[in-house]
Amino acid sequence: MDFLKVSSKSSPASVAGAIAGMVKDGVPVNLQAVGAGAVNQAVKAIAIARGFLIPVGIDISVAPTFSDVIIDGAQRTAIRIAVYVHRITGPGQSMDMEVPEVEGFESMVGSES
């Protein structure tokens, strides 16, 4: 599985653009960050990407997990963040709108009774 690797020096706006583009293209999005600074940048990028996607009827949520990785021969703990795609509806919008499905993830639609 491929990951967008986020570092403490990553531009949140650039990572957000990559996330939004992948979501719109129907490509599964997974991030990997090692260290507090990298996790901070990843979370900022997710928030920015959400702002890019909501106006076009797509919302995202995330699920973080821990993963042991080897970096320069040393074992480190990474945070891996899976991005989930949700269709949203509002006044005048239909549930039948064209929103890409993300392969490998269940796309969830909230329904109100």
- Residue boundaries of the structural domains of the chain: 4-89
In CATH, the number for domain 4-89 is 3.30.110.20
In contact, 105 and 85? CB cutoff 8 Å? yes
| Length of the chain measured in residues | 113
Beta strands in 1-113 (DSSP E): 4-6, 30-33, 58-71, 74-87, 108-109
pLDDT in tens, 56-66: 999 999 999 99
pLDDT in tens, 10-54: 999 999 999 999 999 999 999 999 999 999 999 999 999 999 999
